[in-house]
Amino acid sequence: MGDGGQVMGMKIKRFTYGPFMTNTYVVSTDDAVLIIDPACFTQNEQLELEDYISHRVSDFSHQHSNISIIATHGHLDHLWGAAWATERYNVPVMIAEADYEMITYMQAQYDLFGINATAKAFPIAPLTACHWPLTIIPTPGHTQGSVCLYMPEEKILFSGDTLFRCGFGRTDLPGGNHLQLIESLKQLMTLPADTQVYPGHGETTTIGEENRIGEW
């Protein structure tokens, strides 16, 4: 489990899950919860996430109706817990349509990384179904459907595997494209310097810090 924060009545909690140490974020307000990248791999991780969410929604009039799930892209480590979460909260995972095929053939990712398990299907929906006040920034390169989730008023960016602290996502997997990723990074570097970046792996950073050390 990692850090958290409070921004203008909105709480952000980070959990780090699974064999690839993937960050799951729970963003919550007084009446809604957003799960970003449900990476909970084990039953204990799922129970930890459920326990935290149950405390956040204890005052909701309808416990599950105000819970949403978004995946920043279609890689398996960001979706270990997708089948569990979609069943538990009766909502689909919203994801960019360019990564739909990756979801359809999730077992191929398990096999590629030598994961001795059977991938479980889960319902998906387009990002256009999202009702949160987010700007969806397409950032292809790590995968073709990679996106970043930007909250301009709060100056918060959930960057998935596009941008890390002192680094960026790999491009040598199916769907990756290094030149595309560099262009996506250049686009992110135009955001305000004090934008807080919550990446898919590792610690938080800011756009200003990454702009200072990067060679985009």
**The pLDDT value given to residue 131:** 85
DSSP the chain: ---EEEETTEEEEEEEETTTTEEEEEEE-SS-EEEES----SHHHHHHHHHHHHHHTTT-SSTTTTEEEE-SS--GGGSTTHHHHHHHHT-PEE--GGGHHHHHTHHHHHHHTT--SPPPP--EE-GGG--SS-EEEE-TTSSTT-EEEEETTTTEEEEETTEETTEE----STT--HHHHHHHHHHHTTS-TT-EEEESSS--EEHHHHHHH---
- CA of residue 78 relative to chain centroid, distance: 7
Tens of pLDDT along 7-28? 667 899 999 999 999 999 999 9
CA–CA separation, 40 and 139 (whole Å): 24
CATH top-level class for 4-213? alpha beta
Domain ranges (residues) in the chain: 4-213
Mean pLDDT across 25-34: 92
- CA of residue 181 relative to chain centroid, distance: 17
CA–CA separation, 30 and 143 (whole Å): 34
**What is the number of alpha carbons within 13 Å of residue 4 lying toward its C-beta?**
11
**pLDDT reading at 43 higher than 70:** yes
**The pLDDT value given to residue 76:** 95
**The pLDDT value given to residue 129:** 84
User: What's the pTM?
Assistant: 0.93
**The pLDDT value given to residue 2:** 45
Angle at 26 between CA 210 and CA 9, to 5 degrees: 85
- How does the average pLDDT of the chain come out, rounded? 91
**pLDDT reading at 93 higher than 70:** yes
**pLDDT reading at 195 higher than 50:** yes
174 — pLDDT class (breaks 50, 70, 90) = confident
**pLDDT reading at 60 higher than 80:** no
What is the percent of the chain with per-residue pLDDT over 70, rounded to a whole number? Answer: 92
Tens of pLDDT along 119-164? 999 999 999 888 889 999 999 999 999 999 999 999 999 999 999 9
Which has more pLDDT, 1 or 216? 216
**The pLDDT value given to residue 1:** 38
- Integer distance in angstroms from the first to the last C-alpha of the chain? 31
**pLDDT reading at 59 higher than 80:** no
Q: Strand order in 67-70's β-sheet? A: 4-7, 10-17, 22-28, 33-36, 67-70, 93-94, 124-125
